[in-house]
Structures are given as structure tokens and as C-alpha cells.
Amino acid sequence: MQIRSEHVPDPCLSMETASTCSAGCGTPESLVPEDSMKKDGSTALLIPGAGSPVKAAPKEMTASNSYKTLSLVVLIVQTTALVLVLRFSRTQKVEGPKYLSSTAVLMAEAVKVVTCFVVLFKECNFRFPVLINAIDRDVIQRPMDFLKMSVPAVLYVVQNNLLFLALSKLDAATYQVTYQLKILTTAFFTVVIMQRTLLKTQWVALLLLTGGVALVQMPSGDSSKAEVAHNSSEHFVGLIAVIAACLTSGFAGVFLEKILKQGSIGLWMRNLQLAFFSIFGALFMCWAYDGEAIGHGGLLQGYNGSVWTVVMLQAYGGLVIALVVKYADNILKGFAVSLSIILSSFVSWFFLGDFTPTLAFVAGGGLVIGSTFLYGYEPKKPSAVHSS
């Protein structure tokens, strides 16, 4: 699912996340500065210069508002596009075999590796000896620190494969709402691993979030018994995949944050380390689950424009978010999540035809949206009164 310059994280590989990053996709999600790190555990590929927001002077307020508007649009598009395109790619009717999701994850990780190398090479002023020295200093001479990065990297690969499975079984609207459980899992691991304390409003938000997701899972009563049995089985598999993805996302994000706070390695070198291990994790998934199919039909069987779009969205979605995240406060992120859920629901219902909104879904979705705002709410601290 990207790394912060202050060495406080979020996943570099992903969907989601945002993600992210993806949808996030959960890969890759990487490392980000603590002030810009998402509370929901989504991941985004961070870049130098995307650190803490700076207070704008009066003359800069108009430009700042414009950037915030652009940030909102970008966050909504990135959060929504990957889910909808991925869902379409998994359900579209094609001649011949469908593409293998494990290979799509592999292709996205390969794009990330190349991107990280190019950017790192540029940071070394396109001098190959400088790049070799940097790798020797931050990798060869620090083997244990390097190996620790394999844990979040492999977890992000697992997360991305789970999200492909989930969107093969669930409509985009149900997936979008259910995947917000990553807020709950990230909060849990933050309390357990990082020993942080949550506000009372955040605990209330987590309860509302859980209740909202539960409401969304309630089936509609329009189908026959046979259809209900089949749909329930498919829905259950998709639900388990989303929950497992939320668990891997939450643990990987917090584990990565802990690593980054203990080290001083640069942003893009960390991204390269994550991408390196992710490649091997993705190759293993291809061999373990689709080895026979790949041997028979090839690595890129079933690939078309929509599949390559999914690959690019997974690989670069987090990078796009990194360009605008410093302008996005918690309220704006809440709006982005809310509008993304609404937009995904509309497209699933009106265009894809695989979703019928119900009263339970509307109520549950409303609770999830409200809990997202509540969890991100930060009460103002009373200003200190100075006596003369």
C-alpha cells in the first residue's frame, strides 16, 4: 500500500490504500509523516516535500482553498476509481480465460520497483556509484533493519490479493462500506502495539462503525431461496476476504510505523525495500495459487485495457494521493470517504447493475459515514490564558 520524511508511516504499497491506498488498494500502501498519516490505516506512496502543512499567509488563502478543492476531487476519484474499475475487470464478460488477480498484483509491484529505482537514481543525481553506496549503507550494512521490512511488505501483498477476491464476490458499494473496518483494526493495533490512548469520541465512532457495517451485510428479501443461498455463500466469502484485508492492513500499517520511528533511512530507500520484498511475495502468490494456470495460459493471459488500468491505479494511486495529502485535513478526508461511498453505490446500481440499495444499507452506510467524521474529529484545545 510510502514513507514519511519524519519516518512515521503508512504503507507504501497499496490499495488504499487511501490505501489507497488504496483501495486502496491495499498494497502498497508506504510511509508518511505522522501529521499526514491516515488514522484509518490506509496506505499511500509518499514523496519528499509532502510533509506537514504550513500555515498560509492571508494572500495565500485563495490558493490554499483551491488546493483543498483539488485535493478533495483527487481523493474521491482515486478512492472510487480503483474499486469500480477493479470490480468491472473481475465481472466483465470476455472471450477466453479471465486474467489472474495474483499476476495483476505482481505487475503493480513491478511498476513500483521500477518507479522507486528511477526516483532514487534521480536523488543520487543519476550517478550509479552514489546509488550503489546508498544501497550498501542502508541495506547491506543494516541487514536486520532491512529484513524487518519484509513483514509489512508481505502483508500488503496478501491484502491486495484479498481485495481482488473481495471485489470478485461483493459489489463495489458493499465493499466500500465494509472496508472502512480498517479504521477499527488500525485503532486496535495502535492501542495494543503503540500503547496509544483513544479519545472517548473515537471509541463511540468505532462502535457506530461496527454497527453500520453489520447493517450493510443484511440481505434483501427479493430473491428466491436458491438465489439467496448462492448469494449468501458468495457474500460470506467476500466478507471474510474484506475482514482479513482490514486485519492485515491495520497490523502492517502499525508495524511499519513502529519500524520507521526507530530508524533514519530515507523515504525512497524505504519504499524500495518494501517494493523489493513485495515482488517476492507476489511471485510466491502467483506460484502457490495460479502456477498451473500461468504455465498453461501465460502470465498476462486475459489482460486488456481495464486490467492494465487496475495495475496503474494500484501502482500510482498512492503517489497521486501523496501530492495532495498535505492539503487534506480530517474533515476533507471524511468528505472524500463519504462521497466515494455514495458515488460507488450509484455507479454499482445504475451502471454495473449488481447492487440494489435497501433501507438497511442506507442506514448502515449513514452510520459508517458518520463514524468516519466522528473518528477524525479533533476537539480544539483551550487556548492558554496569559496573565499580564
Tell me the average pLDDT across 22-45: 41
Flag whether pLDDT at 55 surpasses 90: no
Any idea which residue has 533511512 for its cell? Answer: 265
pLDDT tens for 160-205 read 999 999 999 999 999 999 999 999 999 999 999 988 888 999 999 9
Residue 1 lies in a domain: no
Residue 18 lies in a domain: no
The count of domains in the chain is 1
Using CA of residue 142, residue 153, residue 259, residue 128, what is the dihedral sign? positive
Instruction: Name the average pLDDT for the chain.
Output: 79
Residue 171 lies in a domain: yes
Residue 266 burial (10 A CB sphere; 0-12, 13-18, 19+): middle
pLDDT tens for 285-321 read 999 999 999 999 999 999 999 999 999 998 887 666 6
Residue 48 lies in a domain: yes
Tell me the average pLDDT across 14-43: 40
Residue 2 lies in a domain: no
Tell me the average pLDDT across 104-111: 94
Residue 15 lies in a domain: no
Residue 131 vs residue 71, higher pLDDT: 131
Residue 146 lies in a domain: yes
Q: The pTM is what?
A: 0.77
Range of the domain at 259: 34-376
pLDDT tens for 229-254 read 657 888 899 999 999 999 998 999 89
For a pLDDT cut of 90, what percent of the chain falls above it?
A: 45
Residue 387 lies in a domain: no
Flag whether pLDDT at 226 surpasses 70: no
Any idea which residue has 501529521 for its cell? Answer: 35
